[in-house]
Amino acid sequence: MSQVNQSGVSKTYPLCKSSAGRDKGSWYAIIRREPGFVYIADGRRRKVESPKRKNEKHVEITRKTIELCYFTDKSLRKSLWKYNFGNSENSGDFKSDEMLLSKEGETDGKR
């Protein structure tokens, strides 16, 4: 299921990075806010229909935003991909190049 903006105009969602819990270091879109809490989704582990309620103290709210016209799990995953898995400084603690190099080095040493 998806949420489509009734006006047909794209909507901007702020991004946050989890700073505590099992999902530490992961990027999410903030779906809505309540006093002291945010509801976050990434379209993969947390779907748009059932966002995670997380204490504001456990997320780093950033100035980064994403703009989506059709708010679906697929569009959200696609927009957050570069933050969670990309090769940029936005990707947080995850360094895909370093992990690939270490894996290649391990396999070369064993052969």
Sign of the torsion formed by the C-alpha atoms of 92, 98, 99 and 100: positive
Q: Does the pLDDT value for residue 1 go beyond 70?
A: no
Q: pLDDT (tens digit, 9 = 90+) per residue, 29-42?
A: 999 999 999 999 99
The pLDDT tens digits for 45-58 are 989 899 999 999 99
Q: What is the pLDDT of residue 71?
A: 83
Task: Say whether pTM exceeds 0.85.
Answer: no
Per-residue model confidence as pLDDT tens digits over 73-85: 898 989 899 898 8
The residues near 106 (Cβ < 8 Å, ≥ 6 apart) are none
- Domains located in the chain, CATH noted: 3-110 (2.30.30)
